[in-house]
Structure 1
Amino acid sequence: MAVSFDLFGTLVDVSYPDDPAAVVADELDARGVAVPDDWGDAYREVHIDAPEGAEVPLPAHVSAALASRGVDAPNNASRHAVVSAFDPEVTTRPGAREALDAAADRGSVGLLSNCSVPELVARTLIRADVDRDVFDTITTSVACGWRKPHAQAFETVARGLGVNVGDLIHVGDDPRTDGGIEALGGTFVDVAEVPLSEFSAWLKNRDGGGTD
């Protein structure tokens, strides 16, 4: 058995900036980048023509937004600014540890997260009350290049777990994205219907109470 978990909204809740464009602007300014006067507009515009379902890393978007206004961001300033801007407070959701342990007792466990900010998933896991070692593979959209519900996101985590994607159980909070596993023959567990605190019982019912 192989189970993958979504991160944000499933295993943890995190705080995000109310105005991310403004926070990124402050971090750029702190690194000597001349932020354009219409930065709010530039930040919201689309600057990279990516294929449908592809992830555009936020630092690449920020660099492109600056370039659209004739501003250069040397020394990897865009990446450093974005990483600093998204420095979350993390709250582990009830039942997260128990759900992960229950999955690990039955097979391999993966993490599959839509996240355009480099390092954010790793820093979130460090601050969460979960054992990072429980994950046999960690897949993020910023690393693999594809966002759920794109098939390649699920296929990437399935490969990391050594299973066919159709055999994957994916636990998440968003039927629009996490539920994409169903189109590939896998199983979606919606935490709105099966809370993490009940996931162990769900697994037992699924396998008839065994511990394969």
Structure 2
Amino acid sequence: MAISFDLFGTLVDAARPADPAAAVAAELRERGVAVPDDWADAYAEVHIDAPEGAEVPLPAHVSAALRSRGVDAPANAARRAVVAAFDPEVRTRPGAAAAVAAAAERGPVGLFSNCSVPELVARTLIRSDVDRDAFGATVSSVACGWRKPDPQAFETLAGRLDVAPETLVHVGDNRYADGGVSGVGGRFVDATETDFEAFADALRRGASLSEFVSEA
């Protein structure tokens, strides 16, 4: 059995911009980019035709939105603007660090986060109280190209942990996205209904996790 965790809303709470389009626009201007007057509309439009289940990196979306209005961002401005706009303030959720530590005593531990912003997962973990070294694999959708609940997301994580996908017990706060682990034969633990201290205690005792498993 391998245990994997979602990040945002599960292990941590991280503040995000109230108006992402405006936050990105401000950072673009800081980098000398001429932001179009109808930027909010451009940001909201779909510019990249991605396969179902695939992740579109936010810098690629921002660059495409700018090009749709005849604006070219110099060098790596779009990526740097996106990373700066989403630079997080992080609060570790109660019991989360204990749950990860206990899981690491039980077997392989992984993390998979749906996140379209480069560097955000790593920055968030650094600012959290969770031991990053406990994870045998840390995967984000922006890095691997697939979002939960797509089976390829969970198969990628299982491959990085060198385990079969059906052995995954995935802990997350989104029944649709995180519950997608059932599509590869794994089990889902709903973080919104789980006391992490009790979960950690069950892991330390080597107890069955059946009481924590939810139907996706």
Go from structure 1 to structure 2 and tell me whether the alpha carbon gap of 1:151 and 1:158 turns closer, same or farther (over 3 Å shift): same
Q: Distance in 2 between matches of 1:69 and 1:101?
A: 48
Go from structure 1 to structure 2 and tell me whether the alpha carbon gap of 1:15 and 1:207 turns closer, same or farther (over 3 Å shift): closer
Go from structure 1 to structure 2 and tell me whether the alpha carbon gap of 1:207 and 1:72 turns closer, same or farther (over 3 Å shift): closer
Give the corresponding residue for 2:207: 205
Q: Distance in 1 between matches of 2:30 and 2:125?
A: 27
Go from structure 1 to structure 2 and tell me whether the alpha carbon gap of 1:6 and 1:207 turns closer, same or farther (over 3 Å shift): closer
Contact 2:155–2:184 at 8 Å: present in 1 too? no
Give the corresponding residue for 1:121: 121
Task: For residue 192 of structure 1, give the secondary structure of its aligned residue in structure 2.
Answer: helix
Query: After superposition, where does 1:176-187 map in structure 2 within 5 Å?
Result: 176-187=176-187
Give the letter for the 1:22 counterpart.
A
Q: Distance in 1 between matches of 2:192 and 2:62?
A: 34
Q: CA RMSD in A?
A: 1.2
Contact 2:62–2:78 at 8 Å: present in 1 too? yes
Task: For residue 194 of structure 2, give the secondary structure of its aligned residue in structure 1.
Answer: coil
Task: For residue 34 of structure 2, give the secondary structure of its aligned residue in structure 1.
Answer: coil
Contact 1:194–1:202 at 8 Å: present in 2 too? no
Pairwise CA distance, 1:195: 2.2
Q: Distance in 2 between matches of 1:193 and 1:80?
A: 37
Query: After superposition, where does 1:118-197 map in structure 2 within 5 Å?
Result: 118-197=118-197
Q: Deviations over 1:97-128 (max 9, x none)?
A: 11011111111110100000000000000100
Q: Distance in 2 between matches of 1:195 and 1:207?
A: 13
Q: Distance in 1 between matches of 2:202 and 2:161?
A: 21
Q: Deviations over 1:136-180 (max 9, x none)?
A: 110100000000000010001101111110111100011000000
Q: Distance in 1 between matches of 2:202 and 2:70?
A: 55
Q: Does 1:4 align with 2:16?
A: no
Structure 1 unmatched runs, 5+? none
Normalising to structure 2: TM-score of the pair?
0.94
Give the corresponding residue for 2:27: 27
